Chain A
């Protein structure tokens, strides 16, 4: 969401972003008043967010940000701005190119595309080209969400079954006080 907002603000400018948001927040036909209020609130929040994101984007911080999202092409496996080999054949030149590209006024994604075209996809520190690259981001989140939901459902199912069993055995014999105490002690040890 935040990245989308940042990208939107970079690509279209804040004012156009505000117009988009205003269009999004305009009530359509006979929408209930509460819904309108909510959308206006969300819209206002997004505008503020866009403004905040835009305020911080200085060339120096952009250089630092983009430079940390690319790898040095020398094969050291280090982030471009962190490559510190003596006599590295690539990092100085690449850092110079990065300064030029940022000074040229291109967006972050345009700068990274330029580097990708010149040095190949491995120069990007994370896959961001769309298509199959998206799988890299989606798979961990999908597995995490599915596992969380699955675990939640499993726990709920087990607890319901246990509740049913407890209600059936409620009429059964009651354990002695010592046995209960011993069981509590055993089960509350960490």
Chain B
């Protein structure tokens, strides 16, 4: 019998992590049960039990870290006795990709999920003194989630399963699509976001279970939620950028079920981030918020179910997997626990205030939530409709991009509209004078933008079959002009008030204004980033493409560019064979760059992959694909896309990230009594109430 020390160490640490998590769940639960109804500081000995549960939770992170290390070690040492390593790596794989192989398959990605969950739990349990009892509740709930994933890893999808028979000399390699630098970062980012929503979920459920007074739990979880949301945002857009750069079809979002699975919790999470403000400021929408975070968490689990159970077809899905049943069971349990807790404690969720006016910040948040949830429903509906159709009609249908694009178009435009007007409305009620003052400038900007756009030729009635896309872009650009003006005016108005009060110049006043209320102005920056992204997306209406077979010296023209084929050849190395063409790119008579679109054939995995060549500017992307060789002429077929404004999507994401960081920075401390006295007056004037 062969010995496999490292895989056995990994299996043992997984089992140990399960035992420790189960201990945290059971003993933590008992400790909380024994201290129910007791005054703070009186625990009748349950505190020590709770403390052992907390330490067991911390230890489970150490155990899972060891398991993750064992898998990475196996990958780096080419231990092909482990089935997972055999199927996801090979000897000649680049070092970074040997590391990323950890999450390239089902078992490994579940291990990553469990490890990240334990890492979040570790931080939560270390910082438990923020509120000991609430943290104990959250820690116990997190342990429950962790037990589920560890049960999966130990019994349904073990990452250290030993390959039967003699040990192979080389592995089957990593999926070529994953051999791209962004793929080393994208999955962990996405998982950090996905898994991270477990923490606000645990706090919300815990706060409801213990009838936690006030809104302090929201303050405690605000940073968790925002950081998690930020990770998910980055993960989604890294995925989109990867799809754009690697898949070679000229687009970045294909509405694949796996993409949809990541978008749904992002939408509900965004809705939660907005509506939770109403609970903080006005004590409203408590039940709504609780269900939003419950739904967000359940959508992260549902997304995993959709992509791993095989119930929907996806290029990324691990179809025919047996772990779907486990996820069905887990979602049912989570839903039952949430429903039971909600009905048992629903009297604790009564609103302190009621909405007072249709034209107010509160109602804009309500409509914002509505739009985001409508978008989420649309995505979920589109993802599940093929299953429903098969059940009703006996035939599956495809829900591709044309469906999602058409249905989500009005929703997206309404969202853009609300992004602009929402922050301009006052809490409780907005006066007619305030509306006039805040909206006149954006309205003028929209009018001017419309005239300019029509003038430069964005005319749907002249766009032929593309009139819908052109109309969408016209409306988007016009709305964007209004929203950007509104945001700029808000900064300017605030800075002017601060300048009047403090005597500082406009730049210093703006900085001071932002530092005094980072959350508000960080939010504006995030909204600005979203608008910039919309501008980039709307640019897609003017995409052009051309495909041509190109021999030596042949020329292809697209937009302002002219591509001349200098050479085409084949090459190979240990990892892959490659075919590529060298293309000189001219703009007018000036050569601006040389591009080398490529097609690779990976030897270990026997699969091919596109390497897109890109010349990127702020105005447009020149996107060149090597489609393959014409078997009759042996000449390469080159497809070229001209994608206007594409970079603005990625710039918009960077602005969103910057805005979120800004919102996470604590407000400037008030240093003097005079400043403290002045602040309310300034704030009131800035926010025109």
Contacts and interface: CB of A to CB of B under 8 A. Distances in A.
A57 B382 CA distance: 29
Contact of B464 (A57, A122, A141, A165): A57
A122 B398 contact: yes
Contacts of A174: none
B400 interface: yes
A188 B389 contact: no
B687 A86 contact: no
A159 to B, nearest CB: 5
Interface string A142-179: 01100110011011101101110110000000000000
Interface in B295-340: 313-315
A85 interface: yes
A186 B355 CA distance: 17
A127 interface: yes
B256 interface: yes
B675 interface: no
A189 B520 contact: yes
A126 B399 contact: yes
Interface in B334-375: 354-358, 363, 366-367, 370, 373-374
B314 to A, nearest CB: 7
Given A56-B464, A56-B465, A77 B254 contact: yes
B539 interface: no
Nearest to B516: A189
Interface stretch (A12-20, A98-106, A129-137): A129-137
B374 A140 contact: yes
B180 interface: no
Given A53-B467, A57-B464, A127 B517 contact: no
A36 to B, nearest CB: 26
A120 interface: yes
B355 A162 contact: yes
Contacts of B463: 56
A127 B397 contact: yes
A140 B406 CA distance: 11
Contacts of B254: 77-79
A127 B610 contact: no
Interface in B139-183: none
A58 B397 contact: no
A69 B407 CA distance: 15
Interface in A46-95: 52-53, 55-58, 61-62, 64-65, 68-69, 71, 75-79, 82-87
Given A125-B398, A126-B403, A188 B373 contact: no
Contacts of B625: 84
Given A132-B389, A140-B374, A144-B411, A185 B465 contact: no
Nearest to B363: A155
B354 A161 contact: yes
Contacts of A124: 397-398
B428 interface: yes
Nearest to A52: B461
A64 B395 CA distance: 27
Contacts of B519: 189-190
A2 interface: yes
A159 B355 contact: yes
Interface in B511-534: 517, 519-521, 523
Contacts of A181: 680-681, 684
Given A61-B465, A61-B466, A189 B397 contact: no
B608 A184 contact: no
Contact of A158 (B354, B406, B468): B354
B407 A156 contact: no
B251 A148 contact: no
B281 A186 contact: yes
B250 interface: yes
A137 B381 CA distance: 10
A189 B517 contact: yes
A2 B683 CA distance: 49
Contacts of B392: 132
B249 interface: yes
B557 interface: no
Nearest to B406: A126
Nearest to A88: B628
A55 B355 contact: no
A165 to B, nearest CB: 8
Nearest to A185: B680
Interface in B633-689: 639, 679-681, 683-684, 687, 689
Given A61-B464, A126-B402, A132 B393 contact: yes
B98 interface: no
A91 to B, nearest CB: 10
Contacts of A56: 463-467
Interface string B568-601: 0000000000000000000000000000000101
B541 interface: no
B385 A127 contact: yes
B464 A188 contact: no
A84 B464 contact: no
A174 to B, nearest CB: 17
Given A126-B406, A136-B399, 5 more contacts: A55-B464, A77-B313, A143-B374, A144-B411, A165-B354
